[in-house]
Amino acid sequence: MIERFSEYQIMWIFVFFDLPTETKSERKKYAEFRKQLMRDGFTMFQFSIYLRHCPSRENAEVHIKRVKQMLPKEGYVGILTITDKQFGQMELFRGCQRIKQDQPVQQLEMF
């Protein structure tokens, strides 16, 4: 039996951003961008770095398109897509101590 989810087909989308926050208006736009990312299923990885798990490249493209539609007029935004296999090779540290990565939750598909 062929495994339905492959670590080479499951994708992770990272959105990195550096937005201005000097004025009240800029802070409001920053907060709205973050809220839009979270509404689309992204979670905070670090400050100004959000990520989202996608079951396929096609699904990742849908979410990348959404991020591009919500881009703020000011600041810098980067989008990076990696496979689940690459994501699993990431090493995380808190101070000098290595921390264990949480395993992603399996997402169910409804037809």
- Taking only the tens place, the pLDDT of each residue in 33-81 is 999 999 999 999 999 999 999 999 999 999 999 999 999 999 999 999 9
Q: How far apart are CA 47 and CA 32, in angstroms?
A: 15
For residue 103, the surrounding DSSP H or E stretch is none
For residue 83, the surrounding DSSP H or E stretch is strand 76-83
Residue-wise pLDDT for 81-94, tens only, equals 999 999 999 999 98
pLDDT band at 100 (very low <50, low <70, confident <90, very high): confident
Burial level of 12, CB count in 10 A (0-12/13-18/19+)? Answer: buried
Per-domain boundaries in the chain: 11-99
Strand order across the beta sheet in which 11-18 lies: 43-46, 49-54, 11-18, 76-83
Strand pairing partners for 99? 92
pLDDT band at 28 (very low <50, low <70, confident <90, very high): very high
11-99 maps to CATH 3.30.70.240: yes
